Amino acid sequence: MELTLPLLQEKIKEWKGCPLAERSNAVLGEGNPQAEIMFIGEAPGKREDELGRPFVGPAGQFLDELLVSIGLKRPDVYISNVVKYRPPENRDPTDEEKEQCMPWLQLEIALIRPKVIVPLGRHALGHFFPKMSITNAHGKAQKLSDGVTVFPIYHPAAALHNGNLRQALVDDFLALKAFLDSRENGKLEIENASA
Protein backbone atom coordinates (compact mmCIF):
# COMPACT_ATOMS: atom_id res chain seq x y z
CA MET A 1 0.00 0.00 0.00
CA GLU A 2 1.35 3.44 -0.91
CA LEU A 3 2.38 5.46 2.12
CA THR A 4 0.46 8.72 2.42
CA LEU A 5 0.54 11.34 5.16
CA PRO A 6 -2.81 10.24 6.68
CA LEU A 7 -1.63 6.60 6.67
CA LEU A 8 1.66 7.60 8.29
CA GLN A 9 -0.24 9.52 10.95
CA GLU A 10 -2.41 6.47 11.67
CA LYS A 11 0.72 4.37 12.05
CA ILE A 12 2.34 6.86 14.43
CA LYS A 13 -0.82 6.84 16.58
CA GLU A 14 -0.76 3.04 16.84
CA TRP A 15 2.99 2.82 17.47
CA LYS A 16 4.25 1.86 20.94
CA GLY A 17 7.98 1.74 20.16
CA CYS A 18 8.88 4.51 22.60
CA PRO A 19 8.16 4.30 26.36
CA LEU A 20 6.87 7.91 26.25
CA ALA A 21 3.91 6.56 24.23
CA GLU A 22 2.61 4.79 27.34
CA ARG A 23 2.07 8.01 29.23
CA SER A 24 1.31 10.67 26.62
CA ASN A 25 -0.61 11.21 23.38
CA ALA A 26 0.90 11.09 19.91
CA VAL A 27 1.39 14.59 18.56
CA LEU A 28 1.65 14.47 14.80
CA GLY A 29 2.89 17.04 12.36
CA GLU A 30 0.32 19.34 10.81
CA GLY A 31 -0.03 21.96 8.13
CA ASN A 32 0.18 22.14 4.37
CA PRO A 33 1.19 18.73 2.98
CA GLN A 34 2.60 20.54 -0.07
CA ALA A 35 4.51 23.09 1.99
CA GLU A 36 7.88 24.24 0.71
CA ILE A 37 8.88 25.13 4.28
CA MET A 38 8.87 22.66 7.15
CA PHE A 39 9.48 23.70 10.78
CA ILE A 40 10.72 21.03 13.19
CA GLY A 41 10.60 21.44 16.97
CA GLU A 42 11.87 19.28 19.78
CA ALA A 43 8.95 17.46 21.43
CA PRO A 44 5.38 18.30 22.48
CA GLY A 45 4.74 20.15 25.74
CA LYS A 46 1.75 19.99 28.09
CA ARG A 47 -0.75 21.82 25.88
CA GLU A 48 0.37 19.92 22.77
CA ASP A 49 -0.09 16.62 24.62
CA GLU A 50 -3.60 17.67 25.73
CA LEU A 51 -4.72 18.76 22.27
CA GLY A 52 -2.65 16.31 20.20
CA ARG A 53 -1.36 19.18 18.03
CA PRO A 54 2.16 20.63 17.69
CA PHE A 55 3.04 24.12 18.90
CA VAL A 56 -0.28 25.17 20.42
CA GLY A 57 1.09 26.27 23.84
CA PRO A 58 3.02 29.46 24.71
CA ALA A 59 5.98 28.59 22.44
CA GLY A 60 3.50 27.95 19.63
CA GLN A 61 1.84 31.33 20.13
CA PHE A 62 5.24 32.99 19.80
CA LEU A 63 5.97 30.88 16.72
CA ASP A 64 2.67 32.04 15.19
CA GLU A 65 3.65 35.69 15.83
CA LEU A 66 7.05 35.13 14.26
CA LEU A 67 5.48 33.50 11.20
CA VAL A 68 3.08 36.43 10.77
CA SER A 69 6.01 38.87 11.15
CA ILE A 70 7.46 37.52 7.89
CA GLY A 71 4.16 37.18 6.05
CA LEU A 72 3.56 33.46 6.68
CA LYS A 73 0.65 31.69 8.34
CA ARG A 74 0.47 28.21 9.78
CA PRO A 75 -1.57 26.84 6.85
CA ASP A 76 1.29 27.88 4.53
CA VAL A 77 3.87 25.68 6.26
CA TYR A 78 4.19 22.22 7.81
CA ILE A 79 5.15 21.92 11.49
CA SER A 80 6.35 18.81 13.27
CA ASN A 81 8.66 17.62 16.05
CA VAL A 82 11.65 15.30 16.39
CA VAL A 83 9.94 13.37 19.21
CA LYS A 84 6.22 12.67 18.87
CA TYR A 85 5.39 12.30 22.60
CA ARG A 86 5.76 14.63 25.54
CA PRO A 87 8.77 13.91 27.78
CA PRO A 88 7.73 14.06 31.47
CA GLU A 89 7.96 17.55 33.03
CA ASN A 90 9.05 18.83 29.60
CA ARG A 91 12.58 17.53 30.14
CA ASP A 92 14.89 17.31 27.13
CA PRO A 93 14.28 14.22 25.00
CA THR A 94 17.02 11.61 25.43
CA ASP A 95 19.20 10.41 22.55
CA GLU A 96 17.33 7.10 22.71
CA GLU A 97 13.91 8.80 22.41
CA LYS A 98 15.15 10.87 19.48
CA GLU A 99 16.47 7.74 17.77
CA GLN A 100 13.25 5.81 18.39
CA CYS A 101 11.19 8.58 16.78
CA MET A 102 13.65 9.31 13.97
CA PRO A 103 12.06 7.06 11.31
CA TRP A 104 8.75 8.95 11.66
CA LEU A 105 10.39 12.28 11.04
CA GLN A 106 12.33 10.87 8.09
CA LEU A 107 9.13 9.52 6.55
CA GLU A 108 7.32 12.82 7.16
CA ILE A 109 10.14 14.70 5.41
CA ALA A 110 10.09 12.19 2.52
CA LEU A 111 6.33 12.72 2.07
CA ILE A 112 6.29 16.52 2.41
CA ARG A 113 9.51 17.00 0.39
CA PRO A 114 10.15 20.53 1.72
CA LYS A 115 12.68 22.77 0.00
CA VAL A 116 13.55 24.60 3.21
CA ILE A 117 13.71 22.84 6.57
CA VAL A 118 13.78 25.05 9.67
CA PRO A 119 15.01 23.19 12.77
CA LEU A 120 13.88 25.02 15.90
CA GLY A 121 16.64 24.61 18.47
CA ARG A 122 19.50 22.21 19.01
CA HIS A 123 17.60 18.91 19.10
CA ALA A 124 16.10 19.41 15.66
CA LEU A 125 19.37 20.82 14.29
CA GLY A 126 21.16 17.70 15.60
CA HIS A 127 18.89 15.51 13.48
CA PHE A 128 20.52 17.00 10.35
CA PHE A 129 23.94 18.18 11.54
CA PRO A 130 24.87 16.35 14.74
CA LYS A 131 28.13 18.25 15.24
CA MET A 132 26.80 21.73 14.64
CA SER A 133 25.98 24.07 17.53
CA ILE A 134 22.79 26.11 17.37
CA THR A 135 24.70 29.12 18.73
CA ASN A 136 26.92 29.13 15.65
CA ALA A 137 24.44 27.87 13.08
CA HIS A 138 21.26 29.84 13.81
CA GLY A 139 20.07 32.33 11.21
CA LYS A 140 22.21 30.92 8.36
CA ALA A 141 21.27 28.69 5.45
CA GLN A 142 23.09 25.34 5.24
CA LYS A 143 22.94 23.11 2.18
CA LEU A 144 21.52 19.65 3.03
CA SER A 145 21.25 18.17 -0.45
CA ASP A 146 20.53 19.42 -3.95
CA GLY A 147 17.60 21.79 -3.71
CA VAL A 148 17.11 21.31 0.05
CA THR A 149 18.35 23.87 2.56
CA VAL A 150 18.37 23.70 6.33
CA PHE A 151 17.89 27.07 8.04
CA PRO A 152 18.33 26.60 11.82
CA ILE A 153 16.70 28.97 14.26
CA TYR A 154 16.63 29.18 18.05
CA HIS A 155 13.70 27.40 19.70
CA PRO A 156 10.84 29.83 20.48
CA ALA A 157 10.46 28.34 23.99
CA ALA A 158 14.03 29.42 24.78
CA ALA A 159 13.00 33.03 24.19
CA LEU A 160 10.15 32.71 26.69
CA HIS A 161 12.74 32.17 29.43
CA ASN A 162 15.48 34.44 28.12
CA GLY A 163 14.60 37.95 26.90
CA ASN A 164 17.86 38.32 24.91
CA LEU A 165 16.96 35.34 22.78
CA ARG A 166 13.67 36.97 21.83
CA GLN A 167 15.45 39.56 19.70
CA ALA A 168 17.74 36.84 18.30
CA LEU A 169 14.66 34.92 17.17
CA VAL A 170 13.08 37.99 15.60
CA ASP A 171 16.36 38.54 13.74
CA ASP A 172 16.54 34.85 12.72
CA PHE A 173 13.08 35.13 11.20
CA LEU A 174 14.10 38.26 9.29
CA ALA A 175 17.15 36.34 8.02
CA LEU A 176 14.85 33.46 7.02
CA LYS A 177 12.61 35.88 5.13
CA ALA A 178 15.65 37.37 3.34
CA PHE A 179 16.75 33.83 2.43
CA LEU A 180 13.28 32.89 1.12
CA ASP A 181 13.19 36.11 -0.94
CA SER A 182 16.68 35.41 -2.30
CA ARG A 183 15.48 31.99 -3.51
CA GLU A 184 12.74 33.69 -5.47
CA ASN A 185 15.16 36.23 -6.91
CA GLY A 186 17.71 33.56 -7.79
CA LYS A 187 20.41 35.06 -5.52
CA LEU A 188 20.98 32.28 -3.03
CA GLU A 189 23.37 32.51 -0.11
CA ILE A 190 23.97 29.02 1.28
CA GLU A 191 26.82 27.67 3.39
CA ASN A 192 28.20 24.28 2.42
CA ALA A 193 28.03 22.49 5.72
CA SER A 194 29.89 19.34 6.68
CA ALA A 195 27.55 17.27 8.80
Residue ranges binding ligand URA (CB under 6 A): 41-45, 48, 54-55, 57, 59-60, 81, 157
* H-state helical runs in 25-129: 46-51, 58-69, 95-112, 122-128
Strands 78-81 and 142-145: unpaired
Residue facing ligand URA at closest CB distance: 41
User: Which helix or strand (DSSP H or E) is residue 181 part of?
Assistant: helix 163-185
Q: Are 159 and 153 in contact (CB under 8 A)?
A: no
Residue closer to ligand URA by CB (options 59, 147) is 59
Q: Are 60 and 67 in contact (CB under 8 A)?
A: no
Residue closer to ligand URA by CB (options 41, 114) is 41
Least distance (Å) between residue 146 CB and ligand URA:
28
Residue closer to ligand URA by CB (options 135, 192) is 135
Least distance (Å) between residue 118 CB and ligand URA:
12
Q: How far apart are CA 37 and CA 153, in angstroms?
A: 13
Residue closer to ligand URA by CB (options 112, 157) is 157
Q: How far apart are CA 19 and CA 189, in angstroms?
A: 42
Residue closer to ligand URA by CB (options 46, 189) is 46
Least distance (Å) between residue 147 CB and ligand URA:
26
Least distance (Å) between residue 28 CB and ligand URA:
10
Least distance (Å) between residue 71 CB and ligand URA:
22
User: Which helix or strand (DSSP H or E) is residue 41 part of?
Assistant: strand 37-41
> Which 3 state secondary structure label does DSSP give 114?
coil
